[in-house]
A = this chain, B = another copy of it.
Amino acid sequence: MLKAVYSGIPGSYAEEAALAFFPAGTPLLQASSFGDACKKLAEGEADRVVLPVENSTTGAIAEVYDLLSRYGFFIVGEQYVRIEHCLMALPGADLSQIREVASHEQGISQSAEFLGNYPDWVRRPVYNTAAAAQMVAQSGSPHMAAIASRRAAEYYGLSILAGNINQKAENYTRFIIAAREPEFEENSRKISLLFTLPHTVGSLCRVLRLFEEAGMNLVKIESRPMADRNWEYLFFLDFVTDRPDSPEKLFEHVRECTQTFRFLGRYPHKEPGK
């Protein structure tokens, strides 16, 4: 059976992504960083790595794509996880006892409206929402609360004092699943790639039109300046296509009008909430 590795601890949103994506019973390993997770895949300790790429507390798409390129990995799937922050404390503790609240700083930031009702609570930022839940569980103190996911509360045996306290009702983090080799499942409609271009609108639009003419819809574009090269920009793009044929011919044309080009993978397209 395949083994998967994610960066984080049990109860984290990364673990939720892995649980949602893989069949029940898939062994899940933990890693202490994105780089460590990729190392475990490279060395064969795991067969899949789960990494956040969008709207995440720590996920910088550039860092993740850089790791994929460095290791030569390919994206084989994606998974959206709904971010629903809850306030949790030891069983039996109630709201009036809380004096301190721990969470990732984005958990604190995203729950600002709710926390506005409790201006006296000390805010304690920690590196991960699940780590905050773990800390509260280990503290044994009824005066401490954590902001983390419902799953983190379950995992660390905490009671939920208030559910869904983040401002935005709909907030998703996108995770990608990568492997050492590319996979071509049926129904693989999404394609991720990166290329570099001299940064003129003309050259960008020329490349985008090539994809459009090939029936591929742009669903994500992100640029990043390359620190060591003047006027050269790195683009990360996702497309969705309904054509089953391989886009090799298209990629040849794209290679001609880009400076460097890398195919990152073709995989089934998912939507948030599914």
Chain A residues with a Cβ under 8 A of chain B: 7, 32-36, 39, 54-58, 60, 62-63, 104-106, 108-110, 112, 123, 125-128, 131, 170-172, 199-202, 204-205, 208-209, 211-212, 217-225, 227-228, 233, 272
Contacts and interface: CB of A to CB of B under 8 A. Distances in A.
Contact of A219 (B36, B62, B199): B199
Contact of A218 (B36, B109, B112, B201): B201
A60 B106 contact: yes
A56 to B, nearest CB: 7
Majority secondary structure of chain A interface residues (helix, strand, loop or mixed): mixed
Contacts of A35: 108-110, 112
A211 B217 contact: no
Q: Return the 10 tightest CB-CB contacts between A and B, nearest first.
A: A33-B109, A35-B109, A35-B112, A205-B205, A170-B227, A201-B212, A127-B127, A125-B127, A32-B123, A201-B208
B55 A58 contact: no
A212 to B, nearest CB: 4
Q: Indicate the member of A33, A104, A131, A220 with the most B CB atoms within 10 Å.
A: A33
Name the residue among A62, A123, A171, A221 with the largest chain B CB count within 10 angstroms: A221
A43 B194 CA distance: 43
Given A126-B127, A204-B208, 17 more contacts: A33-B105, A33-B108, A33-B109, A57-B58, A58-B105, A63-B109, A104-B127, A170-B228, A171-B227, A200-B217, A201-B205, A201-B208, A201-B211, A201-B212, A219-B225, A221-B223, A227-B272
